[in-house]
C-alpha cells in the first residue's frame, strides 16, 4: 500500500466559492488570486477551474504568470508586485500580463521603456498598509504620467490594499477606505481594494474589481463566525492514516523531547504525516485532528514524517483508519491557531511531497 497522504481538492467547492464572492459583490469584476501555487493547492488546476468564472487572475510575479500560460491559461493575469526589471515588460505586454505599479522606480522604468504595445496597469496607492504603493499625495501626478506615456493603455485601475480588514471592529479599514475614496474621487479610472476579508466583511470596499484569494479556497479570514463565511466550502482536505497504535501507561511520555505525558492509561495512534508533508511542526499538544470523523488531539511533538494522536476516546480507532488534518469538518484556520499561525500559511506551505488528488469534479 502506498503512503496514504493526500491533499484532496474539491473543485466543485472552488466554483461554489467564487460564485459566493460574485454574489456578495454583484457589481464588481472578479480577479481570482492564485499566487504562490494557488495558496498551495496547485496553480494550474486551480487556475483552469477558475478561469471561466473569473474576469482575470492574479499572481505575485511574472514567473508564476508564465507558468499559467504554459498550462494553457489565456485570461489576463495581473502581476501583483509588478515587475522587478525592465526586461520583464516586453514579455508582459505580449502575454497580456497586467502590471501593478507602486513606486517611482517602476513608474519611470515604464515611461522610459520601448514597448511595441501598451501595457495594462494598476496603480497601487498606499493608504496605510505601508508595504507597497505610492503615497496618496502623489497618486494624481503618477496617474497623469501613466495616462500620458504611450507605453500604458488608457484604462489604469487605481488600487489599494487593506492591512487589517479581518479585524471587523477595528478602525483602520474605515480609515483606509476614507483615504482611498478621497484620493480617487476626482481621478479617472476603475477602483479596486477588497481582498477576501474586504469582500466578506466590508461591502463599501467592493468598488469595480474585487480580488479574492483565501476565500476562494473555502476558508474564513475571520477568527469568529460571520454570516458571510458560513457558505464557504473548503477546497483542500488534508488526510493521512494510522500506521501504528499502542497503549501507553499513565506517566509515560510520547515523542521527541517527551513534550506530552499520559495523564491516564492512553491509546496512542501514529499517523504518517509530519512537517515534511505540510503539517505544521509548531502545532501544540491538543491540536484537533479527525479520526474516523471523531475529534482526537495531537499528543507529542510533530516529527518530519509522523504525528502521534491521543485516540483514547475515539471509538474503534485501528490501523489504516483515515485521519483528517484539516478540511470541511476541521477548518484549517482552527488548526493554524494551535500552531501560532494562519490557515493561509498552512495551505501555502504544502510541499510537492503531498500529492494533490482531484476529488469528484
Ligand X SMILES: *Cc1c(COP(=O)(O)O)cnc(C)c1O
Residue ranges in contact with ligand X by CB under 6 A? 33, 35, 80, 161, 195-196, 211-215, 221
Residue 80 CB, shortest distance to ligand X, in Å, is 5
**Contact assessment for residue 82 and residue 99, using Cβ atoms and an 8 Å cutoff:** yes
Residue in 124, 256, 267, 275 annotated catalytic: 256
Q: Torsion angle, CA of 69/153/181/226, rounded to 10 degrees?
A: -20
Question: Nearest residue by C-beta to ligand X?
Answer: 213
Residue 279 CB, shortest distance to ligand X, in Å, is 21
79-87: long-range contacts (C-beta < 8 A, 24 or more apart)?
80/33, 80/35, 81/132, 82/106, 82/124, 83/109, 86/112, 86/113
Among 222, 191, 217, 186, which residue's Cα sits nearest to residue 204?
A: 191
Closer by beta carbon to ligand X, 201 or else 213: 213
Helix (H, G, I), strand (E, B) or coil at 357: strand
**124 included as an active-site residue:** no
**227 included as an active-site residue:** no
- The 8-class DSSP code of residue 152 comes to B
Residue 361 CB, shortest distance to ligand X, in Å, is 24
Residue 315 CB, shortest distance to ligand X, in Å, is 38
Any idea how long the chain is? 361
In this structure, what C-alpha cell is assigned to residue 294? 471523531
List all residues 6 or more positions away from 209 whose beta carbon is below 8 Å from its beta carbon: 28, 29, 30, 31, 55, 157, 159, 190, 191, 192
Closer by beta carbon to ligand X, 214 or else 260: 214
CA distances (Å), origin 179, targets 103, 128, 205: 18, 9, 12
Closer by beta carbon to ligand X, 98 or else 214: 214
Closer by beta carbon to ligand X, 213 or else 288: 213
Closer by beta carbon to ligand X, 35 or else 356: 35
Residue 36 CB, shortest distance to ligand X, in Å, is 8
Q: Residue for cell digits 508595504?
A: 131
DSSP string computed for 166-216: T-TT-SHHHHHHHHHHHHHTTS-S-EE---HHHHHH-GGG-SSEE---GGG
Residue 78 CB, shortest distance to ligand X, in Å, is 9
Amino acid at each position: 500500500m502506498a503512503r496514504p497522504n493526500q491533499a484532496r481538492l474539491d473543485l466543485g467547492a472552488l466554483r461554489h466559492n467564487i460564485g459566493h464572492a460574485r454574489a456578495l459583490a454583484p457589481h464588481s469584476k472578479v480577479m481570482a488570486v492564485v499566487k504562490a501555487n494557488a495558496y498551495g493547492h496547485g496553480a494550474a488546476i486551480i487556475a483552469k477551474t477558475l478561469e471561466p468564472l473569473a474576469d482575470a487572475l492574479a499572481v505575485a510575479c511574472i514567473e508564476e504568470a508564465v507558468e499559467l500560460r504554459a498550462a494553457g491559461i489565456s485570461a489576463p493575469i495581473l502581476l501583483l508586485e509588478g515587475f522587478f526589471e525592465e526586461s520583464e515588460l516586453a514579455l508582459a505586454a505580449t502575454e497580456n500580463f497586467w502590471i501593478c505599479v507602486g513606486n517611482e522606480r517602476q513608474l519611470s522604468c515604464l515611461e522610459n521603456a520601448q514597448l511595441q504595445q501598451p501595457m495594462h496597469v494598476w496603480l497601487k496607492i498606499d493608504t496605510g498598509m505601508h508595504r507597497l504603493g505610492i503615497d496618496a499625495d502623489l497618486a494624481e501626478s503618477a496617474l497623469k504620467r501613466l495616462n500620458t506615456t504611450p507605453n500604458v493603455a488608457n484604462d489604469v485601475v487605481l488600487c489599494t490594499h487593506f492591512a487589517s480588514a479581518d479585524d471587523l471592529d477595528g478602525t483602520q479599514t474605515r480609515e483606509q477606505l476614507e483615504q482611498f475614496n478621497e484620493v480617487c474621487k476626482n481621478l479617472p479610472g476603475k477602483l479596486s481594494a477588497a481582498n477576501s476579508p474586504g469582500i466578506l466583511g466590508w461591502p463599501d470596499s467592493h468598488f469595480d474589481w474585487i480580488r479574492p484569494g483565501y476565500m476562494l479556497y473555502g476558508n474564513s479570514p475571520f477568527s469568529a463566525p460571520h454570516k458571510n463565511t458560513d457558505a464557504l466550502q473548503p477546497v483542500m482536505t488534508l488526510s493521512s492514516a494510522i500506521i501504528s497504535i499502542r497503549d501507553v501507561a499513565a506517566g509515560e511520555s510520547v515523542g521527541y523531547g517527551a513534550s506530552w505525558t499520559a495523564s491516564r492509561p492512553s491509546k496512542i495512534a501514529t499517523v504518517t504525516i509530519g512537517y515534511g508533508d505540510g503539517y505544521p511542526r509548531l502545532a501544540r499538544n491538543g491540536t484537533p485532528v479527525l479520526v474516523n470523523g471523531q475529534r482526537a488531539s495531537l499528543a507529542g511533538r510533530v516529527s518530519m514524517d509522523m504525528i502521534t494522536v491521543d485516540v483514547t476516546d475515539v471509538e474503534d480507532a485501528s490501523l489504516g483508519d483515515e485521519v483528517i488534518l484539516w478540511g470541511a469538518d476541521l477548518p484549517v484556520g482552527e488548526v493554524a491557531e494551535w500552531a501560532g499561525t494562519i490557515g493561509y500559511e498552512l495551505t501555502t506551505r504544502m510541499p510537492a511531497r503531498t500529492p494533490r488528488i482531484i476529488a469528484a469534479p
